[in-house]
Chain A
């Protein structure tokens, strides 16, 4: 490996210092290597070189051929050559003068509105004007004027006067996100960044243009005029929304999060994130539970912490093991571990399941036997793979940074195959081969895809909804040498699997059904035994609760509407003594008997494990006395005389790490029998980040930038139902209906696509499920 690198090295001299860099490196990157910062605007290491702002001009005394250039050259586009001699602004008057000249030209049309500009204080233009610009300007003419600002999307504003036309934003949307919703328009002095005013949608990654804009041209509505960079306190942390695992930089002032930026993490999100990760962070403040609540005479009443803990402990103790625990999929690893331990130690039950979405029995086995402790491919592996096969997975909507990495990989020659009931624009961005698959038939379809050791199969959470699909993924990989990864949607899912928040699993992939595994865990936890029976899963807990078979429930951050049967869940809460650990007055909290307020994500520390099983550190951003789930569970357990001894995050993570991976046998993967469907239109659906989601609450600009909801049918199916594009259709499950405008799309005949998280109702609220029959009817034009 090192030999190869050696032969490709080129040695040049910059400001009298020799540096060796790989062939093809640009001068500006080579200079960075030896700590020489050449000013720049259009240059960005992750974007294709453009050479348009000309700020990075340097004096090339020798191009490596014994001759230099009479004029200064752009260091962002010129690549190094052996023996090249370069002088930057630090050692060359020519370079210094050229840079000062360019800076003056850039500023002739830039307004002097730094005092009211959001970027001031962290502005590359401001900073570099100070370091390489002239002290004054010789320009005394008219500056360009535009009416300000332009609403580019409901979330983004553009002050065109401030724009220096570096095209970072337009290159980002085209090269990185594959969503050219903005483009340079007009030309010459009238050139500007423009959006098509009637365009239907922007980009899920649009917020990145604010971050890479080297001036204050792009601003986010939600942050505009909200704070000054120098008043903010920044903390590096990890995004809580999905399993992509983006590093974040969260900025707070006066104890309130003001904005979030993509963190720098070359191995994961590089320098990007999605709009949900960037903009959705206000929901916790909307209907925050400020104090513990205890139901007295049918009413939730504020209570002191000791009172509430006593009430919770008493109720749970009384229920014994007739109890179920629904921690939800959004917990940090440490909190999830605390629920897992609490269920076994304090409640003596395996009735625990983090899955607030629809899952399956075979999925639980898959999670225990194939996911827990698995060595999965990484983001980097996606770039070097020759083929990626998507099974029940829309990367852009279900793990947005995976989509960005795939876009990058496709440019390098990756082939993507998409097994899906519907052809999508996101999969077209990947130039994917679309293999039409009826919902539920993924296992069979995968069998027909040619795989080899250079292939990676990515299966999403919807894999659980197709009989045998998860097993088929593992078997196809084993047979062909291909690798695979399960990419769930929620940030806490992998951590929940690894910590044993499943009815069949204990920490580190230890099977509940395995006596040695139970002994392992019992010993570590100081218990005599751990119940040996596989517990109830989420659906069974809800059903049992609704039927009055459970006496108590412990519910974490679960949106009841996400569950397969929200009505049953309400009934279950109603009929059982329910302890809700929540930061908002959610549906579950409102129905619970004891509500214990938990810390917001910015008020706690811990880790999320992303789909790669890579740990991302969650750091406390704001000071707060709010307790995390684990601290609360610790108090309850102590009160119940069954201590879990987890009064700090560190304790939880150390204890979890102490388990390591289970080396013993795990149950074989299984396939549940397919539930026969009556004649009718089969449903396919997924959740999109910007549609209904409690996490988006309070972010109207973000919600407004989501694409419009719709239903989709194939042309033939639409025709057979007497429908055409633009018709208003109603789609009904067993419980309720929603009305959506119809689009006619390339998709499998006999299926319909609708949003799984429509603002009108989730699939659970409709009484509908992927792969099941729904009723479709015309409602009008």
Chain B
């Protein structure tokens, strides 16, 4: 069996996740996120521990983990780079960005040999007004350009702090997997309230003094 970092503390946390739901199986997805944060992959041990805790078979856990694209079958790198490749981002430069990054890292949908990056094409990430978009550890890197992408990778490689356009300072993919498992990291106050595009309409309204009608008297 491959190495696993799952220990008593992890199992305790997996049980905490289960306690959030009236039926333990509901905890499966956050549990898988936690396993990824601990092992860097949906590990064999992770599948077995979850199956045991939830009371289902390993085949069933595997059936679920392979359904969702965020769960990795092969160990992920320190940083996860997701380049949006759905039509709009692709057309507006996403394809070019992907090719550029892929060439630089020497991987096509995979993890670099040094374990620093996992590169994937991702589908529409709900940031179309910021196209083209790259997600780093599922944080928004909006309005990307080749130059910005180069700097992003330079900074990540050098370990320099990287701030997403809308999000908290990049740490690692695994840290954010823990967040997705429902373990809050205390960083909600980092980053902006809204990006520029999100504010397009409301700013025009302010400029023009437009608003919704006044409401009924209370």
Name A's B-contacting residues (CB within 8 A): 179-187, 194-196, 198-199
Q: Are B63 and A199 in contact (CB under 8 A)?
A: no
Q: Which residues of B sit under 8 angstroms from A182, Cβ to Cβ?
A: 59
14 sampled A-B residue pairs with Cβ under 8 A: A179-B57, A180-B57, A180-B60, A181-B57, A181-B59, A183-B60, A183-B62, A185-B67, A187-B67, A194-B59, A194-B63, A196-B57, A196-B58, A199-B59
Q: Which residues on the A side are within 8 Å of B57 (C-beta)?
A: 179-181, 183, 196, 199
Contacts of B1 in A (CB 8 A): 198
Q: Quick one: which of B27-55 are within 8 Å of A by CB?
A: 44, 47-48
- Asked whether B192 is an interface residue with its Cβ less than 8 Å from the other chain, the reply is no
Complex Cα gap A373–B5 (Å): 63
Other than the given A186-B66, A186-B67, A194-B66, 9 more pairs (CB < 8 A) read: A180-B60, A181-B57, A185-B59, A185-B66, A187-B66, A195-B59, A196-B62, A198-B1, A198-B48
What residues on B are CB-neighbors of A184 within 8 Å? 63
Residue B199 interfacial (CB < 8 Å): no
Docked complex Cα distance between A179 and B59 (Å): 10
Cβ–Cβ contact B67 & A199, under 8 A = no
**B61 / chain A contacts, CB cutoff of 8 Å:** 196
Which chain B residues (139-172) contact chain A, with CB distance < 8 Å?
A: none
Question: Which residues of B have CB within 8 Å of A199?
Answer: 57-59
Give the Cβ gap from A168 to chain B, nearest Cβ, in Å: 16
Give complex CA distance A129, B57 in Å.
36
Q: Is the interface of B mostly helix, strand, loop or mixed?
A: helix
Count contacts between A and B, CB distance < 8 Å: 41
Bound-state Cα–Cα, A522 to B55, Å: 60
For the complex, what is the distance from the CA of A675 to the CA of B105, rounded to whole Å?
77
Question: Distance in Å from the Cβ of B182 to the closest Cβ of chain A?
Answer: 24
Cα distance, A183 to B48, chains bound together (Å): 15
Does chain A have a CB within 8 A of B205?
A: no
6 closest residue pairs by CB, A with B: A183-B63, A196-B58, A196-B59, A183-B59, A185-B66, A186-B66
Please, which residues of chain A bring their CB within 8 A of the CB of B62?
A: 183, 185, 194, 196
- Shortest distance between the CB of B31 and any CB in chain A (Å): 16
A301 to nearest B CB, angstroms? 55
A179 to B67, CA, bound (A): 21
Asked if B56 is at the interface of the complex by the 8 Å CB criterion, the answer is: yes
Question: A187: which B residues are within 8 A, CB to CB?
Answer: 66-67
B63 A185 Cβ-Cβ under 8 A: yes
Residues of B within 8 A of A194 (CB): 59, 62-63, 66
Please give the distance in Å from B89's CB to the nearest CB on chain A: 21
Residues of A near B67 (CB, < 8 A) are 185-187
B residues less than 8 Å from A181 (CB atoms)? 57, 59
Asked whether, in the complex, the Cβ of B58 is within 8 Å of the Cβ of A198, the reply is: yes
| Bound-complex Cα distance A195 to B114 (A) | 32
Residues on A with C-beta less than 8 A from B56 are 180
CB neighbours of A180 from chain B (8 A): 56-57, 59-60
Q: How far is the CA of A708 from the CA of B55 in the complex (A)?
A: 20
Whole-angstrom CA separation of A186 from B57 in the bound complex: 16
How distant is A765 from chain B, measured CB to nearest CB, in Å? 34
B217 CB to closest chain A CB (Å) equals 46
Give the Cβ gap from A188 to chain B, nearest Cβ, in Å: 9
Q: How far is the CA of A179 from the CA of B60 in the complex (A)?
A: 10
Residue of A nearest to B63 (CB): A183
Enumerate chain B residues within 8 angstroms of A195, measured Cβ to Cβ.
Answer: 59
Complex Cα–Cα for A198 and B2 (A): 12
Distance between B42 CB and nearest chain A CB, rounded to angstroms: 12
Chain A nearest CB from B64 CB (Å) reads 8
For A181, A183, A185, A194, the residue with the greatest tally of chain B CB atoms inside 10 Å of its CB is A183
B176 to chain A, nearest CB (A): 23
B124 to chain A, nearest CB (A): 16
Within the complex, the shortest CB–CB distance from A185 to chain B, in Å, comes to 4
CA distance A242 to B125 in the complex (A): 58
B25 to chain A, nearest CB (A): 12
How far apart are the CA atoms of A199 and B62 in the complex, in Å?
A: 11
When distances are taken between beta carbons in the complex, the residues of chain A under 8 Å from B59 are: 180-183, 185, 194-196, 199
Bound state CA distance, A186 and B73, in angstroms? 11
